[in-house]
Structure 1
Amino acid sequence: MNPFITIQNYPVYVGPGLLDSVGKLVSPRGKVFVITSRALTKFGVSVATSFNPSAEIVTIEEGEANKTLATANAIVTQLLDRGAKRDSMAVVVGGGMLGDTGGFAASIFLRGIDLVHVPTTLLAQVDSSIGGKVAVNHALG
C-alpha cells in the first residue's frame, strides 16, 4: 500500500491591525461563525464585523478545564441551532485552549468545516494554530 497524502499550504499573516482585516484575507464559502471566549468578545466582534453583518459569535468559557468533549459539543450545538451548514466557516479567536476546542468542534461538525485561527497569545501563534492538530482533554487522561 502506497498512500499518497498531500499537505495543503496556507498563508500566515502577521502584523498590526489584522483583527479588522480577517474578512478581507479569507474567502468563506458560506456563513461565518466566530468562536471565542466571553473575555475576548470585543476581539471576536472586530473579526466578525470584518466579514459582514451576518457573521455570528459563539462564546465558550476559557480555561484548560473547559477543553473537553462537552465544550466541543456545546459549540456544535450552537452551530446547529444557528443554521451552520457544510459550507460554513469557523474562525477561532483566542489562545491555545480556544484553538484546540474550537478547531476540534469544527473538525467534527458535519465531517469538518473550514477553519481559520486568529491566535491571541504568543504560544498559540507559534504552536497550537500551526499544523492543524486539534484535540480536547478527557477526564481519564
Structure 2
Amino acid sequence: MNALIPRPSREVAPGAWHVPDWLTPAQQRELVTACRAWATGPVPIRHTRLPRGGVMSVQTVCVGWHWTPYRYTRTADDVNGRRVAEFPEWMVRLGRRALLTAYGDEAAAEDYTPDTALINFYDGQARMG
C-alpha cells in the first residue's frame, strides 16, 4: 500500500517486528471473524484464574492447546473439560508468511509449524502488566 507518509517495517524490540499494512482490511476482518467464532467454543473465552487466586483482566481463548498458568493441555479442565478448537492449517500458513515477511528467511518460514494461538481480548477494564 502506498502511503503519503511511509510506514516501513521495523523491529520494535529484539525479535518483535511491526509490519504495517501486512494484512489487508478484508484479511483483518476474516481473522476477527475466526477469533469471534473461537471465543464461543468449544472452550469459550475466559478470564484466567491465577495460582494465587487472582483473575487476569484480559480475556483469553486458546486454539490448538489450552493455556493455564504454567502449562498447556489439549482439554480445558479449568473451564469445562472440553478439547480446545483445532489449530487450523490456514493459521500455519499465515504464521509462515508472517515469519518470511518479518525476517526474509525462507528456510525458517518453511520449517515453522505453530500449533497453538492464545487470543487475548482487552476490553476497557483490561490492562497489561
TM-score calculated relative to the size of structure 1: 0.28
The structure with more helix, counted as a fraction of residues: 1
TM-score calculated relative to the size of structure 2: 0.30
The structure with more strand, counted as a fraction of residues: 2
- Rg larger for: 2
